[in-house]
Amino acid sequence: MSRKINIQVDDVSCTAELHDDAAVMSALLWDALPVTGELRHLRWGGEAGYVLSADVKKTDPPDERRVSMYGRGQVLLRSEHGEIAIGYGQGQARDGISRGAQACHVASVITNVDAFLDRVGRTLRTGKAPIEITRSEGA
């Protein structure tokens, strides 16, 4: 049975399912929960929001479910930056340090998809929003 997490931005929430084939990275996120902070829109990377957490920082992440492009409903972990990103459309792992940046696709949004991703997308216009990521009840 897969582990699930709840993500809440303002008054909009969803459930996301962790990917078991990203065992190290999903455990890193799971063990860091709860995560609270400010969801911000990516600066250079397209249609995604992110929150920073020192608890998910890992300087040498494994090669699990690595992607360069972000897709709608993906929860991604860029542990070298302590970043948890949520794609609401097409995005890309970018930074000012290197070309070919990647993130781990650690989970996928499975409930309240449209309303939740719409709220993430609104950070482009409205700026930061409070976010809380917790373990799902009964997980």
Give the pLDDT confidence of 6-42 residue by residue, as tens digits.
Answer: 999 999 999 999 999 999 999 999 999 999 999 999 9
Range name among 64-68, 85-89, 114-118 with the lowest pLDDT average: 64-68
Residues 123, 40 contacting (CB under 8 angstroms): yes
Q: What angle do CA 17, 119, 1 make, to 5 degrees?
A: 10
Whole-model pTM? 0.94
Domains belonging to the chain, first-starting first, are 4-135 (2.40.100.20)
Give the pLDDT confidence of 75-107 residue by residue, as tens digits.
Answer: 999 998 899 999 999 998 877 666 668 899 999
